Amino acid sequence: MNQSLVHSLLRAVGLVVFGLLLLSPVLVQWPAQDLVPYLQWKLIAAVWFYMLVLSLFRSFWPGLLLLLPAALLVPQEVFYLLTYQKSTDAHALAIVAETDLNEALGYLTGIGLFLALAVVAIVLLWWYLLCSAWQGRWQWEKGLRPVIWLICIGVVASLSWNEWQYQQINKAKQRSNPEENVFVQRPLPYSYEKFHATYPLNMLIAVNEFVKQKQAVADIAESTALFKFSALQTDAPAQRQIYVLVIGETLRPDRLQLNGYNRATTPRLSGTKNLISYTNMVSPWAWTRMSVPVILSRKSATDQRYFPTETSVVAAFKEAGFSTAWLSTQSPLGVHDSSIALHASEADQVQYLNPVGYKKEGFYDDILLPAFERVLQQNQQKQLIVVHTLGSHFSYADRYPPAFDLFTPSGKGQSISMHDRSSSLLLNNAYDNSVAYTDFILFNLIKQLEQTDSISSLFYVSDHGENIFDGQCNKSGHGHNTERDYRVAALLWISELYNLQYPQKKSYAEQRREQPLMTSNVFHSLLDLAGIEYPDQKLTKSWVSPQWRPSSRILQQGLDFDLAKRDPVSAELTP
């Protein structure tokens, strides 16, 4: 066999390997069923995209240059798909952009060497093909490139027509604030629906979504940048101070063992000293994107706007001289998260620790514990730390590790529908397991605080409640306007040093454990808890103040929670 033939065979093999490499993120998604849509919208679409790039020039080598970024990102994309069963999206890009490099790369732990070797091998293969294309003057056959272009033009025209039809059928409601449309306008574009899992088209879509959403958040942040509370801690104690706000997810108060539930869902917290459970706390919203801003700020319960008009408790603590940190296993961008991320951005330190958000299993909330410890080890004199958990977000069985699969059968590892009443036992068991895991997380956060020997408190509150086929009720999930949608778990732990420094506040906090409270009281109570004052402060809304007064608990639609009628089966609220 002569040398020329060997080189030809090597080049042919190299091209095949390089092609399979570029297609590997699509090939690993080979379906067990629905083969036609996969071929149409993933495999064939990816092949034609690469062909289009290569056909931009008559010579092959410029096209190979353009394909290098796609080739280098293949190992990361394959890893992401195999580990999280999810293609890279705006959430993944935001994790990298919003968090320091060490945390952003945390989900690659243990495979860094493999990825590095894979990238080296890809570069060597690419360089060999590039040199071969340059030296061998590889070129397209005449007339072939226009055929590719014509086919691509036809595809684009077809997509444009389908996009127009899709938008006509699925008209989206326009919001008065143009920035809100970026996040809440639905449906998503037709192209997103078809290509969000087609590499490398998904990367282009993700970058576009990330840039648009980041710009919208930046525009809103600019509008509140000049707002000031003029907050001061006028009588600051000499000891170190640490205040922690833990925002929970989908946790009902009646599923806590320490509130009388007949299962051991809070075995650790039930034996924790200086812990108060507020059994009559209500959230005015059953949607995270609207309920959490009410917790964090002075936003009215009936304010229907997606974004706030002023900053949050985080900014108020900063004005009072506190170092602030935000730790989260939820998403930094998206329809359910950007209104919250806007307040998170007010913190001095922001870390998003879950590479996949709530849609897949991803990381559990215990990843927050070492991050929390690192913030404590900074040994700041005055600290506010906000911890945003995934808690009991559906799928409940995805929220806890196997060691916490305590109540079985739970359907862990299975695909369980939230709306299938025959799965009620599985759903309820999995939900209780997620509550037990939250007990573990909160207990360990408190233990870390105890070790600091500081004036400290930890306040936990869930964003909204949940329905889980309770009794004869056929409702599951949230947003059904039932009593269970709005009742939320809330807990306050205070340190021994805090008790000594503010014994009266502790006394009032204990007195209000069964009083009618609302999450819109949290902003006022947290600042009062820390002894932070500001002009037009409303201590009648702080349950740790002697001035606190109960008030009507008005929900987002204008209903009075306490006066509304309850359906005897579903507990749905009506005027």
Residue 42 DSSP label? I
Whether 196 has a pLDDT exceeding 90, the answer reads: no
User: How remote is the C-alpha of 475 from its chain's centroid?
Assistant: 25
For the chain, domain boundaries? 3-220, 239-574
Question: Is the pLDDT higher at 335 or at 361?
Answer: 361
Residue 252 · residue 487 · CB < 8 Å: yes
Q: Which fold has domain 239-574?
A: Alkaline Phosphatase, subunit A (3.40.720)
Return the bridge partners of 456, or none: 242
Secondary structure (H, E, C), 90-106: HHHHHHHHHCCHHHHCH
Residue carrying structure tokens 């506010």: 384
The span from the CA of 491 to the CA of 515, in Å, is 13
Output the pLDDT for position 104: 47
Output the pLDDT for position 12: 86
126-140, 169-183, 424-438, 477-491: least confidently modelled range: 169-183
Widest distance between CA atoms in the chain:
95
- Stated as kind and residue range, the H or E segment containing 210 is helix 201-224
34-48, 261-275, 423-437: least confidently modelled range: 34-48
Whether 54 has a pLDDT exceeding 70, the answer reads: yes
Residue 247 DSSP label? E
For residue 8, what are its two tokens? Answer: 């030809």
Q: What is the CB neighbour count within 10 angstroms for residue 407?
A: 19
CA 148, 151, 154, 158 dihedral sign is negative
Residue 259 · residue 277 · CB < 8 Å: yes
Question: Is the pLDDT higher at 108 or at 438?
Answer: 438
Provide the mean pLDDT of the chain.
89
Taking each helix axis from N to C terminus, what angle separates 288-296 and 522-529, rounded to the nearest 10 degrees? 30
The span from the CA of 94 to the CA of 355, in Å, is 9
Whether 30 has a pLDDT exceeding 80, the answer reads: yes
The span from the CA of 176 to the CA of 181, in Å, is 8
Nearest to residue 300, comparing CAs of 284, 316, 287?
A: 284
Residue 392 · residue 466 · CB < 8 Å: yes
- Stated as kind and residue range, the H or E segment containing 455 is strand 455-462
Residue carrying structure tokens 């580990």: 83
Output the pLDDT for position 275: 98
Question: Is the pLDDT higher at 264 or at 5?
Answer: 264
Whether 309 has a pLDDT exceeding 90, the answer reads: no
Return the bridge partners of 482, or none: 572
- pTM: predicted TM-score of the whole model, two decimal places: 0.83
The span from the CA of 33 to the CA of 86, in Å, is 18
Percent pLDDT > 70 in the chain is 91
Output the pLDDT for position 184: 53
Nearest to residue 372, comparing CAs of 356, 360, 383?
A: 383
At 246, give phi and psi (nearest 5°).
-105, 120
Q: How confident is the model at residue 176 (pLDDT cuts 50, 70, 90)?
A: low
Rounded to an integer, the average pLDDT of 524-548 is 97
Q: Could you give the dihedral angle defined by the CA atoms of residues 49, 51, 56 and 59, in that order, rounded to the nearest 10 degrees?
A: 150
CA distances from 181 to 97, 184, 230 (A): 22, 5, 32
Output the pLDDT for position 99: 55
Return the bridge partners of 277, or none: 491
The number of CA neighbours under 13 Å toward the Cβ of 459 is 26
Percent pLDDT > 90 in the chain is 65
Who's near 218: CB < 8 A, 6+ residues apart? none
Question: Is the pLDDT higher at 190 or at 87?
Answer: 87
At 407, give phi and psi (nearest 5°).
-105, 115
Whether 302 has a pLDDT exceeding 80, the answer reads: yes
Residue 339 · residue 398 · CB < 8 Å: no
What is the bridge-based pairing of β-strands 349-352 and 323-328?
A: parallel
Rounded to an integer, the average pLDDT of 235-257 is 97
Output the pLDDT for position 383: 98
